[in-house]
Structure 1
């Protein structure tokens, strides 16, 4: 986020252009959560589709309420000990006037608060992809409440809140490489180490049931990510937001191609799932770095992220942790790559004059980035594992074995994603009639559920 310290004589006034721009960016980031739901929903088996959609969608409700009550205050209130913030005026958003400006910007506090809210919403939703097929919905709701309160809100203060330890250290995280992606990826790893593997992991086929949904979700994420990234400068008057917009497109394209190149070399085919996953890996990696690197730097960041994340998703089979939809391999690894590469590719001509190693700046910024990455990763992993352990020992984190095998959608939501009962005869007739007319026996095909 943009540092916001100006002299009183230079105090800004409300800009309708910047305010409108930021409201649009906020709406784009909000769209990313339903986009993520489609992305994850298409990647699971039929019997888990609705549960996956709901694990993302419920975050829109839970985190919004928490943010209004106290989350905004903890994340962006007056600093306490470089760890948390607190401001009475931010509690309930009750002490904020509609034209009060966020410090050092030309946008109202309300606009900044709602923009940051959308970040807070999508971050726990990202975790859900690692837990597909096996978590009670009630346990997930409780986990989101606790995790947002204990992990996300304080970490957001560390990284973006004035006085937070990472902020004061000079860690560069333009739009959420540490606070969002490493945070969510480390949390996912912590939880899956507690709750264990899906039944049939590494034995049964667990293929995506709808690749068109996956591509739709990836497209919505890509679209919304322009607001996520470019909006994080909180204005549009000095060209930094434009640089971030361009770099977002470049890195995403490079990562998509790098992922497919790895697949072609390693497996002999370029898959649709790989293209979608590669695009997301590029979006993740450019999120912390895009305001600091040049377009050529963004190309390098994306290419590295696409190839390395493609390799990283296979580690779950080697090490035996069941990261259902590759949250660790894409978000944690991609966030680490993007954050650390700032220390090499920062040009000194973007959001600040900080230069990385390849631009003559030495390794000073790299070590700062390492501190930010390791601090967030360690805290999120441990805290998330502890929360999952406590919930598992009280409420119970996993559904029963029978429910997992038969389908978590019906067990947890009393619904299924696709209802063919009303068209059963017609569908069967449309398949079998041509075969019967040709004198061939009726045939059926087993669908992997």
Structure 2
């Protein structure tokens, strides 16, 4: 074991945890004030659900066993998981690896809230997250990071483009479609700018732990992932700045932060596998695609993705994963992308993303259908119009 690596991954773990309250502030600043408490609750509840279920059996099902789709119960309740040694060949203990990985389902489930805040029954959302963690997140984590099917194919996902962003963004869209549109369809306008700026800053700050921490050591790959994260996010922000300069009379701070967020999502699957120049290109391309999705595709199709969870995370994760298959460098990733003249990686990236989309859409839909049989999925119309905060939480934001 290496003390420096342990210290770095402990810090990275804390940074990833910090992203959840950061997301609560970021989402909350955009949400109508009468739904802001509900937004906070839907995001923060992911800490409780993720923290408990990951400890009980989530980690074991994701990272134990040699099955193709899901693991086993060998490490349930972290029984026998060493706090001083590694059985996985890392220079950090298994207990720290489990702790670091346990932060990822928290932020993943929190992202889902962005598509449905202000109209979903909070109790139904809790049930949804519990089922979703076991039926969607855990199998994907095992297939990609637990030496499951995708890993054996050679799929690359450094920090969660597929496991975190595609799964959460697409599930959020499916859930939003099943719920239906809001009673009051209003454009998303910032009502609390300090919350958005602080929340966006905490997300960006935490993302350095999210990506660079995924190297699981304080080494050159962590440095590369840190640099690529900064470059891609900055390029995403610059891309939205240029779009604002060309198409609008105003340069909105919220647009700048959304552009940075698009760049952060884009680089997540390839953060430790591409060079900084490629990271800049990935940030530029995906930020533009995300802007198109949010600005035109969403309006044209008319779906009600309240806070653009699908537009930023779903679309950003899909294109980030595909571009990892383009720009991955063999000396960094062990697999060569299209930029080095090899097409196999791009094909397996495309296959894994296609399978992920199929799995996420179908299982999310089945979870929703089950919940509808046992409890209301959506709040009463009068409650929604008056505001969920008082009716479901007994609190108001101001």
TM-score, length of structure 1 as denominator length: 0.86
1:39-60 residue CA offsets vs partner (Å, 9 max, x unmatched) = 1111111011111011111111
Pair 1:221-2:216 in alignment: no
Q: Kindly state the Cα deviation for residue 86 of structure 1 after the two structures are TM-superposed.
A: 1.1
Matches for 1:254-293 after TM superposition, within 5 Å: 254-293=235-274
Pair 1:186-2:173 in alignment: no
Cα gap change, 1:345 to 1:206, in 2 (>3 Å): closer
Of 19, 24, 35, the match for 2:6 = 19
Residue 79 of structure 1 aligns to a residue in which SS? coil
Of 69, 75, 86, the match for 1:83 = 69
Pair 1:316-2:316 in alignment: no
Q: Kindly state the Cα deviation for residue 197 of structure 1 after the two structures are TM-superposed.
A: 0.6
Cα gap change, 1:340 to 1:133, in 2 (>3 Å): same
CA distance in 1, matches of 2:128, 2:19: 21
Pair 1:398-2:378 in alignment: yes
1:292-317 residue CA offsets vs partner (Å, 9 max, x unmatched) = 11110000000011111011113222
Partner residue, 1:210? 192
Residue 85 of structure 1 aligns to a residue in which SS? coil
C-alpha contact (below 8 Å) 1:195/1:388 kept by paired residues: no
C-alpha contact (below 8 Å) 2:42/2:117 kept by paired residues: no
Pair 1:341-2:323 in alignment: yes
Partner residue, 1:377? 357
CA distance in 2, matches of 1:272, 1:300: 22
1:75-107 residue CA offsets vs partner (Å, 9 max, x unmatched) = 001022x0001142x111122232131411011
CA distance in 1, matches of 2:28, 2:22: 10
Residue 213 of structure 1 aligns to a residue in which SS? helix
Of 80, 92, 104, the match for 1:107 = 92
Residue 105 of structure 1 aligns to a residue in which SS? coil
Q: Kindly state the Cα deviation for residue 205 of structure 1 after the two structures are TM-superposed.
A: 4.9
Partner residue, 1:117? 102
Residue 209 of structure 2 aligns to a residue in which SS? helix
1:168-209 residue CA offsets vs partner (Å, 9 max, x unmatched) = 0001100000000001011111111211110122xx454222
Cα gap change, 1:102 to 1:112, in 2 (>3 Å): farther
Partner residue, 2:33? 46
Q: Kindly state the Cα deviation for residue 347 of structure 1 after the two structures are TM-superposed.
A: 2.4
Residue 106 of structure 2 aligns to a residue in which SS? helix
CA distance in 2, matches of 1:32, 1:185: 16
Residue 330 of structure 2 aligns to a residue in which SS? coil
C-alpha contact (below 8 Å) 2:240/2:259 kept by paired residues: yes
Partner residue, 1:28? 15
C-alpha contact (below 8 Å) 2:211/2:268 kept by paired residues: yes
Unaligned ranges ≥5, structure 1: 1-13, 419-449
CA-atom RMSD in angstroms: 1.2
| Structure number, greater radius of gyration | 1
C-alpha contact (below 8 Å) 1:193/1:385 kept by paired residues: no
CA distance in 2, matches of 1:158, 1:165: 5
Q: Kindly state the Cα deviation for residue 263 of structure 1 after the two structures are TM-superposed.
A: 3.1
Aligned residues: 397
Cα gap change, 1:268 to 1:307, in 2 (>3 Å): farther
CA distance in 1, matches of 2:180, 2:12: 38
Matches for 1:406-417 after TM superposition, within 5 Å: 406-417=386-397
Pair 1:70-2:57 in alignment: yes
Cα gap change, 1:406 to 1:16, in 2 (>3 Å): same
Pair 1:37-2:24 in alignment: yes
Residue 66 of structure 2 aligns to a residue in which SS? strand
CA distance in 2, matches of 1:344, 1:154: 26
